[in-house]
Amino acid sequence: MDRQFIRRIENDFPYPVALEFRRLNTKEYLASDENRLRQILKISESTIHLLALISIVDLLENCIKEEIAIPDSFKKEFPVWFTRTSFGKWISLFRETLKLFQNNSTPMFITELPEYFLAGNGAESSNQKAFNRLTTIRNQLAHPQFLLTDSIIEDFCSETEELLGAILTGMDFIVKYPFLYVDQISVRYRKWTLPSYSHTFSEVIGNSSEFNAYNKALSELVNTPAIIIVKDKEVEYLNLDPLLIYTNEGENRIPDIFLYIDWITNKSAKFRPVWNGGSFNLAGTSNEIETLNSLLKFFEFFAADSVYMGYKELIEKLKLSV
């Protein structure tokens, strides 16, 4: 990648990707060693993780509007993909979600995603092949019997860097869809006029945790608090809640963006921090029940009834204990 595009990723890509990519280009990771290799793999997983979450939120919105019907085959696999998540599971969830949009001839909010990941007739695109290869390398590193020599590390660094470069170059379209955090809304409603809603938007873009912010008056209310993706105007948006959350209730009590990673019926839902928020699960948090009810929607539409009822009963028990 040339320096100009590196700066574009660091400054204009969504925060969960831009921050990790910025770290790769610091002095600490310049040598072709195991640290650099693992950081390249971490960026790759963060990227497919984010894309999978975006796609599944988009799918849910379309299911609620009855634009897409979910086949039993998807409902069977969804609880596997969506719990105890991994690099490979994010790839599977993203791929199969895109196929549902294609099979139903339904456009996605980010219209470029299907072509980015799927070739003709649902075949693998070069980007999907790149993610698959990165997963294979990641799995090799995790295997206890795999002998990792300096020569292998150097070769892997070269290969993975090239794959990551192709992946990020291919998704340059993402900069057309700003990621925003909607925080505060105030209302101005003068006599004989229509109400005006002043929104505070923070740009969840680039590698700094100090997000640029602006105020804008709109004639419609935007969901808040929420992390959203917008198109041409802020009122045309995809709400990523509850899979992306901005909160200071992580272990380190530092405001951070957290991405959903797991929820199994006998434990609390878990999220991973983008920056330094620390480990985070919903147990005991201020919006635990509200957020779990939002997560429940995914199981209601994408899982078998028995699975959905198991999660619903868990929430009912939590309500009784509060």
- Give pLDDT, residue 224: 84
Cα(59)–Cα(220) distance, integer angstroms: 24
- Give pLDDT, residue 1: 78
For every residue of 221-245, DSSP letters joined together read PPPSSEEEEESSSTTSEEE-TTTEE
CB 238 within 8 A of CB 228: yes
- Give pLDDT, residue 222: 83
- Give pLDDT, residue 122: 65
For every residue of 115-183, DSSP letters joined together read HHHB-GGGPBPHHHHHHHHHHHHHHHHH-TT----HHHHHHHHHHHHHHHHHHHHHTGGGGGS-EEEEE
Neighbours of 147 (CB within 10 A): 6
Return averaged pLDDT per consecutive 10 residues of the chain, 322 residues in all.
92 97 95 96 98 98 94 97 96 97 95 94 89 96 86 96 97 97 85 84 94 89 90 91 96 95 89 94 92 96 96 89 69
Cα(120)–Cα(102) distance, integer angstroms: 10
CB 126 within 8 A of CB 120: no
- Position 311, amino acid: Y
Q: Where are the domains of the chain?
A: 3-176, 179-239, 261-321
pTM for this prediction: 0.94
Sequence-separated contacts (24+) of 297-301 with Cβ below 8 Å = 297/60, 297/64, 298/56, 298/60, 298/78, 298/82, 299/78, 299/79, 301/60, 301/63, 301/64, 301/70
- Give pLDDT, residue 145: 80
Cα(73)–Cα(59) distance, integer angstroms: 16
